[in-house]
Amino acid sequence: MQRRGRFITLEGGEGVGKSTNLALVADHLEARGLEVVRTREPGGTPRAEAIRKLLLDPAADEPLDDDAELLLVFAARAQHLARVVRPALERGAWVVCDRFTDATFAYQGGGRGIDTARIAELEAFVQRGLTPDLTLLLDMPMAAAQRRLEGRLDRDGGQRDRFERERAEFFDAVRRAYLERADEAPERVYVVNADQPLDAVQDELKSLLDGCLEAWA
Ligand SMILES: Nc1ncnc2c1ncn2[C@@H]1O[C@H](COP(=O)(O)OP(=O)(O)OP(=O)(O)O)[C@@H](O)[C@H]1O
Ligand SMILES: Cc1cn([C@H]2C[C@H](O)[C@@H](COP(=O)(O)O)O2)c(=O)[nH]c1=O
C-alpha cells in the first residue's frame, strides 16, 4: 500500500476522555490544513457499526463467547481498514481513530485472558503490517474514570453497555495490559496522565502533536 497519511489512535479504559480528546487532536490537525478522518473501533462503517452493536449489546439471553468476541472485533476491523482507513491513508489524509488493536490486547487479552499470541496472529492476518504511527494512551485509575463515566451517563440518561458492566478487576486487568503495550512499544505509544484537568491534558497533547508534525515534515 502506498501510504501517505498518518494514523493516530487514542486508547484507554472506559471514560478516560478518548472521545473528548479525539476532537481536540482532529481539530488541532485540521487547523494546520490537514485532511483528517475521525473514526472509531469497533465501527467506522455501517457494517462495522452493526458488529459494534452486537458486541456492546448487554442482552443477557445468550452470553457472547470470548473467542466469538475476539473474531467479531477483528471482522469489524477488517471492514473498517478496507473501507475507511487504508483509502484515507493512501490519499494522504490523517486518520484519527478512537481505539484500535491495542484495545484488543487490553480487553480480549488482559480482560478476558485470551492468549496474546493468538491476538497477534489475527493482527498480522487482518492488518498486513498496518500499525498506528502514534498512539495516545490516556491512563488513569479506573475508579476515577468510572466516576466520570457515571457523570456522563447521568447527563445522557444512557445505559451501561456490555463492557461497561464488567467488574472492577476486569478494568484493572485492561489498564495493566495497556501499560504493558506501552512498555513494549515506547516509540509509538505515548502515555498521558488523564487524571488531571482537561486543559492540562490537552496542552500536553497539543505539544506532543506539534513535535510529531515537526518530526514527520
Ligand atoms: N480531563 C478531564 N477532566 C474531567 N472530566 C473529563 C476529562 N476528560 C473528559 N472528561 C469528561 O469525562 C466524561 C467521559 O469522557 P469521554 O466520553 O471523552 O471518555 P471516553 O474515554 O471516550 O469514554 P468511553 O470509553 O465511554 O468511550 C465526559 O463527560 C467528559 O466530558
Ligand atoms: C476496539 C475494541 C473495543 N473493545 C471494547 C472497548 C469498549 O468497551 C467498547 C467500545 O466502546 P467505547 O465507546 O469505545 O468505549 O469496545 C474491545 O473490547 N476490543 C477492541 O478491540
CA dihedral of 170, 100, 164, 198, whole degrees rounded to 10: 100
How many angstroms from the chain centroid is the CA of residue 70? 15
Residue 1: the pLDDT is: 61
Provide DSSP, 66-124: HHHHHHHHHHHHHHHIIIIIHHHHHHT-EEEEE--HHHIIIIIIIIT---HHHHHHHHH
Between the CA of 148 and the centroid of ligand 1 the distance, in Å, is: 6
Q: Return the residue whose CA atom lies nearest to atom 2 of ligand 2.
A: 103
CA dihedral of 146, 150, 156, 157, whole degrees rounded to 10: 130
Q: Is the CB of 103 under 6 A from ligand 2?
A: yes
CATH class of 7-216: alpha beta
Q: What is the pTM of this model?
A: 0.97
Annotated binding site for ATP: 12-19
For the chain, how long is the longest CA-to-CA vector?
Answer: 53
Domain boundaries, the chain: 7-216
The Cα 57–Cα 36 span in angstroms is 30
Residue 128: the pLDDT is: 98
The 3-class SS string of 144-179 reads HHHHHHHHHHHHHCCCCCCCCCCCHHHHHHHHHHHH
Q: At 59, is the pLDDT very low, low, confident or very high (cuts 50, 70, 90)? A: confident
Residue 189: the pLDDT is: 98
Atom of ligand 2 nearest to the CA of 99: 1
Q: Return the residue whose CA atom lies nearest to atom 4 of ligand 2.
A: 103
Mean pLDDT of the chain: 96
Residue 132: the pLDDT is: 98
Q: Is the CB of 102 under 6 A from ligand 2?
A: no
User: Look-up: residue for cell 445505559?
Assistant: 159
Residue 36: the pLDDT is: 98
How many angstroms from the chain centroid is the CA of residue 35? 20
The Cα 136–Cα 181 span in angstroms is 12
* pLDDT digits 0-9 by tens, 137-185: 999 999 999 999 898 888 888 889 999 999 999 999 999 999 999 999 9
Residue 84: the pLDDT is: 98
Residue 106: the pLDDT is: 98
* Number of alpha helices (DSSP H) and beta strands (DSSP E) in the chain: 9, 5
Between the CA of 40 and the centroid of ligand 2 the distance, in Å, is: 9
Which residues, at least 6 apart from 154, have a Cβ–Cβ distance to it below 8 Å?
none
Average pLDDT over every residue of 16-43: 98
ipTM over 0.85: yes
2 has a pLDDT exceeding 70: no
217 has a pLDDT exceeding 90: no
End-to-end CA distance of the chain: 20
* pLDDT digits 0-9 by tens, 100-139: 999 999 999 999 999 999 999 999 999 999 999 999 999 9
Average pLDDT over every residue of 2-14: 92
